[in-house]
A and B are shown apart, each in its own frame.
Chain A
Amino acid sequence: MKKVLALMLCFALTIGCLTGCGKAPAGEEAPAEGQNETTEEQEGAQAPENEDPGVELDMSKTVKIGVLVSDSTTAESLAFQSYYKDYIASNYNVELVYSDELTDAAGEKSAIDTFITNNCKAVISFSSFDRMAQLEQCAGAGIYYAVATGTLTDDEYAQVKDNEYYVGAIGPSLEIEFQTGYDMAKYYLDQGKTRFAIFGGAIPYYTEMHIYRAAGMLTAMVEAGGGDYQGASDKDAIIGKLFETASIETGSIGSVEILGYVGGYDMDDAWFAKCGQMAQTEGLEVILAVGNGSDFFGSSIAGTDVKIASVDAYATAYGEAMEGGMLDYLAGKFSASIGPIFIATYSATLGAPIRTEDGCALALSQGYWVATSAEQFNEFYAVDSSTEAPAYTKNMLDTLLGTDYATFEAFVSKYSFEEIQTMQ
């Protein structure tokens, strides 16, 4: 026992010496524990050197970039990972270091600690448990931080837009999420469908994007049905109602009926039984899902006329579901949509950050590709899954390196399939 204690003491002292007396790599000040503000030394060491767009960038050194992964199994995350691993990593002089699948804020912090240890110069985050803490940690260590998909709220952006280490966010804004739900419901309402069921995904967990998509659906129903949803008849009131209840009430909205609702991702037998029961509701015409619908309801509607509409990404499984009549409408992210945020991040690490005219971080919105037939899906998927010529190719992305905000913003705003094809 004494020997072990003595050995452990020696070991602890060694660790103590190393943690206390270590030297940070050149050009980077190791942050003090708990430090949240950028020190002047860090600013001096890491501050962007190049404010002049168009200057040739030195890409000879391999840049390490950490990627925070929140999910490594869904179609969306696999498509994103494939684009980074199979295309970006092989076309740029970067080493992408991936975190494990993260499940909480502590995991995010721990993963960023690991990235800093491994001398990553930037972090691209797919994880959103505590984005403000992520940025604070990255800025404290003098490395860049970017949000890969989704956007910050207005309040959050106002707090961090001037932070030089915050590259920005490109993804569907909450406004686009609302519009996505609205367009999905309207597509069927215009066809004369009136009997719906809704899959609310993470609404019970107050996930904003799912609440906004559902609010869009309900707003379209209110407009078409001529009634109100639980006393709410406009967009803001409906969003407020959903945040209040974290659920969707079944019942009539004028001439439109919500026959069923399932929320959450319990994934147990009772939950799947509830899904099956909802899909087989008599008279049901359409299941609107704020996320993946075909996986949970597809088999239950086989052989019926019930349609399923989903929001997710372009993946083989959805193509098969569309071919098999288990999916009718897909609003999907295209995997290359994360290309511009990579370029913005990479550009920042090379000393040429892309900022707005006011010197603020990027806050750009990008929407979905909508497929309403198997043919259309296949056309989109062929481009989206290509590792030779994806939607955003190296040639296209190279035009953004070190560019000015206007050019970058114009590029990102043209995200529809047709617009991207034209750019190619």
Chain B
Amino acid sequence: MMRKQNFKQQVINLTPFMGLLLLFAVFMVLGTIKDINVAYGMKTIVNQSIVVAIIATGAVFIYTLGSFDISLGASAAVSALTGGMAYNATGNLFVAFLVCIGLAVMISLFNSILASVFNLPVFVTTIAMLSVLNALVLVLIRLNGTGDEIAVPSAAVKPLDTIGFKLVVLIVYWCLCAFVFCFTKIGRKQKLLGGNPICAKLTGISDKKMAIIAFAMAGIGVGLGAFVSIVYAPTLTRNTASSVGMDVIIAIVFGGMPVSGGARSKIQSAVIGAFSMTFLSQIMTILNLNSGIGQMVKAAIFLLVVFVATFNQRNKMLPR
């Protein structure tokens, strides 16, 4: 009986990954039938997933605490625009990289510190921050004085605009996050804090300290995502990364992460979800489904995946 339950639990745990494999298989089969350029398609999928995968990987730390940050996309936009301006001012891509990371971490920490000072739920401060950052995007573009965009010369970023570079960034950052999340006390404390904050506090875990660490990790991801965005498309506008915030939320949930955080949180959810979403989009394009129908199909599959992934979690929540 116990063995059967374990097997069932393992199957459910693997559902998001099986979903990704299934989407991969469907993409390959349809691609072969429709004679698409599969090799280029794989590069396209990596390119289209990478920014969301990186940012979402960092965001897992925030979600594990049972919170969420709605301003991640806007933060990435501000970091990218500032990074672009830094490059234009110095001509040094490494400076741009540091500015992206530094600013993103600062914004993220500001969010968590603000929440600590005012003793507000973190997501409340991120809602306020979203408005501030969106306004800041417009200010930065206007300050730059070049009209409606901040453009880094494409020749400057071209050497880095490779699948190899982007995958290295993702893998290195993912390994760092996986290590902190799975093999250090920080990850365990965060899971406990997300699962049962009262119990966590009683055991001496500082929720503020954990929130700061979570946001700092997410900030690094946002900075990396912002830099990869510059590398991929060096013409930055007020809409840069505008969809990233929502895509990150969808990717994390799609990847099997419980919205309530806690012990069932998984660091791999972000990457699985980001790639699953892109495979799904590509499949819709192969089938030439128009945007409206495609969105509806995606929504239906999204609900199905979340339903299956959380099927075994109902009525088993720890008291909060």
B282 touches A117 (CB 8 A): yes
A117 touches B148 (CB 8 A): no
Distance between A262 CB and nearest chain B CB, rounded to angstroms: 17
A22 touches B182 (CB 8 A): no
The A14-33 residues at the B interface (CB cut-off 8 A) are 14-16, 18-19, 21-25, 28, 30-31, 33
B128 within 8 A of A: no
A19 touches B240 (CB 8 A): no
Give chain A residues whose Cβ lies under 8 Å from the Cβ of B147. Answer: 205-206
A106 touches B285 (CB 8 A): no
Q: Contacts A22-B39, A117-B282; is A34 near B158 (CB within 8 Å)?
A: yes
A8 touches B17 (CB 8 A): yes
The B227-284 residues at the A interface (CB cut-off 8 A) are 229, 232-243, 266, 268, 271-272, 281-282
The B169-190 residues at the A interface (CB cut-off 8 A) are 171, 178, 182
For residue B164, which residue of chain A has the nearest CB?
A33
A19 touches B43 (CB 8 A): yes
A28 touches B240 (CB 8 A): no
Give chain A residues whose Cβ lies under 8 Å from the Cβ of B272. Answer: 8
A101 within 8 A of B: yes
B42 touches A72 (CB 8 A): no
A19 touches B291 (CB 8 A): no
A129 touches B237 (CB 8 A): yes
B48 touches A116 (CB 8 A): no
A106 touches B229 (CB 8 A): yes
A95 within 8 A of B: yes
B37 within 8 A of A: yes
A106 touches B43 (CB 8 A): no
Give chain B residues whose Cβ lies under 8 Å from the Cβ of A31. Answer: 40
Distance between B245 CB and nearest chain A CB, rounded to angstroms: 13
B299 within 8 A of A: no
A117 touches B44 (CB 8 A): yes
Q: Contacts A24-B37, A106-B240, A117-B37; is A19 near B42 (CB within 8 Å)?
A: yes
Distance between A143 CB and nearest chain B CB, rounded to angstroms: 11
For residue A208, which residue of chain B has the nearest CB?
B147
A133 touches B235 (CB 8 A): yes
Q: Residue B38 contacts which of A18, A103, A129 (CB distance < 8 angstroms)?
A: A18
Distance between B83 CB and nearest chain A CB, rounded to angstroms: 14
B161 touches A8 (CB 8 A): no
For residue A66, which residue of chain B has the nearest CB?
B285
Give chain A residues whose Cβ lies under 8 Å from the Cβ of B290. Answer: 98
Q: Residue A133 contacts which of B24, B159, B233 (CB distance < 8 angstroms)?
A: B233
B240 touches A119 (CB 8 A): no
Interface string of A70-112 (1 = CB under 8 A from B): 0010000000000000000000000101101101111011100
Q: Residue B285 contacts which of A1, A14, A114, A207 (CB distance < 8 angstroms)?
A: A114
A4 touches B235 (CB 8 A): no
For residue B45, which residue of chain A has the nearest CB?
A15
B20 touches A11 (CB 8 A): yes
B268 touches A114 (CB 8 A): no
B48 touches A110 (CB 8 A): yes
Interface size on A, residues (CB 8 A): 51
Give chain B residues whose Cβ lies under 8 Å from the Cβ of A249. Answer: none
Give chain A residues whose Cβ lies under 8 Å from the Cβ of B235. Answer: 105, 129-130, 133
Give chain B residues whose Cβ lies under 8 Å from the Cβ of A114. Answer: 44, 48, 281-282, 285
Interface residues on B, range: 35 or more
For residue B38, which residue of chain A has the nearest CB?
A22
Distance between B298 CB and nearest chain A CB, rounded to angstroms: 11
The A210-246 residues at the B interface (CB cut-off 8 A) are none
For residue B148, which residue of chain A has the nearest CB?
A205
B38 touches A104 (CB 8 A): no
B154 within 8 A of A: yes
Q: Residue A23 contacts which of B39, B154, B281 (CB distance < 8 angstroms)?
A: B39
B286 within 8 A of A: yes
Give chain A residues whose Cβ lies under 8 Å from the Cβ of B162. Answer: 33-34
B236 touches A30 (CB 8 A): no
For residue A206, which residue of chain B has the nearest CB?
B147
A387 within 8 A of B: no
CA of A123 to CA of B20, assembled, Å? 30
A8 touches B268 (CB 8 A): yes
The A120-148 residues at the B interface (CB cut-off 8 A) are 129-130, 133, 136, 141
User: Which residue among A5, A105, A206 has the maximum number of chain B CB atoms within 10 Å of its CB?
Assistant: A105
B291 touches A33 (CB 8 A): no
B47 within 8 A of A: yes
The A339-374 residues at the B interface (CB cut-off 8 A) are none
B37 touches A28 (CB 8 A): yes
Complex A-B, nearest 4 residue pairs according to Cβ-Cβ distance, in ascending order: A22-B39, A206-B147, A106-B233, A103-B239
Q: Which B positions have Cβ atoms within 8 angstroms of A?
A: 10, 13-14, 17, 20-21, 24, 34-48, 147-149, 151, 154, 158-159, 161-164, 167, 171, 178, 182, 229, 232-243, 266, 268, 271-272, 281-282, 285-286, 288, 290-291
Q: Can you report 7 residue pairs joining A to B where beta carbons are below 8 Å apart?
A: A3-B14, A18-B39, A19-B42, A24-B40, A34-B158, A103-B242, A117-B40
Q: Which A positions have Cβ atoms within 8 angstroms of B?
A: 1, 3-5, 7-8, 11-12, 14-16, 18-19, 21-25, 28, 30-31, 33-34, 36, 72, 95, 97-98, 100-101, 103-106, 108-110, 113-114, 116-119, 129-130, 133, 136, 141, 205-207
